[in-house]
Amino acid sequence: MSVERGTAAQLVRRREQLVQGAEHIGWKIGFNLPAIQERLGIDAPVTGFLTTDALLDDGATWSLGDGEVLVESEIAVEIGEDAHSIAALLPALELVDPPDLEIELEQILAGNVFHRAVVFGPRMETDRPGAVRVLVNGAEEHAIDAERAGAALEAMVAATFARLEAVDERLVAGDRIITGILCPPHAAQAGDRVRLEVEGLGAVELAVGA
């Protein structure tokens, strides 16, 4: 029940942003790793929301003036006309607050699962990504093969559908979902340039300023 209460509170915050002029983008997966789910006492990922209030352009610079952030490399899916299949994929970088897992889960959800911002790369009409590389300042930090990169995409769509349905919300055609971390996140430092390359999709990049 704490998941449903927290998600309901989160959606109130989303509605406030939409009323104030933000545009709906879609959803985010939080806690896609089984070890974190076990620690939090849940049996599936949770969701957060994405709006244009926290959308950055590819290649943008993020200032650390508001505190430290982590940069997470993810695959984004775009939902098809039937409101459940995958119509397209995009490389994506999400900026999040360093997660404090001592906070009550309901509070984490109400705060939108530590989300700060998202940036998308090019959109490609496919349901399978290629191999992934994460580079920081030009040096490869992580490499993920194509099988692993695409292994959980359908499961993350299904998890998003289930979490939203529990609070009387629905996926719609065109929704984008960032589907959870592919590898350990990068703790951003001023001067960093983080680049996610996905074979067959393209790349997305973010700079970090002071």
Q: What is the pLDDT of residues 144-190, one digit of tens each?
A: 999 999 999 999 999 999 999 999 999 999 999 999 999 999 999 99
Architecture of the domain whose range is 2-209: Alpha-Beta Complex (3.90)
| pLDDT tens figures, 53-102 | 999 999 999 999 989 999 999 999 999 999 999 999 999 999 999 999 99
pLDDT at 51: 98
**Rounded to whole angstroms, how far apart are CA atoms 116 and 121?**
17
**Rounded to whole angstroms, how far apart are CA atoms 109 and 30?**
9
β-pairing, 115-120 with 86-96?
Answer: antiparallel
The DSSP code sequence of the chain is: -HHHHHHHHHHHHHHHHHHTT--EEEEEEE--SHHHHHHHT-SS-EEEEEEGGGEE-TT-EEEGGG---EEEEEEEEEE-TTSSSEEEEEEEEEEEPPP-TTS-HHHHHHTTTTEEEEEE---BS-S----EEEEETTEEEEEE-HHHHHTTHHHHHHHHHHHHHTTT----TT-EEE---SSPPEE--TT-EEEEEETTTEEEEEEEE-
pTM of the predicted model as reported, rounded to 2 decimal places: 0.97
- Only one residue has tokens 């806690």, namely 31
Domain positions in the chain? 2-209
40's CB contacts (< 8 A; 6+ apart) are: 31, 101, 105
Average pLDDT of every residue of the chain: 97
Strand partners, 46: 30
Give residue 72's identity as a one-letter amino acid code. E
Closest CA to 196 of 127, 123, 121, 145: 121
pLDDT at residue 21 above 90? yes
pLDDT at residue 1 above 80? no
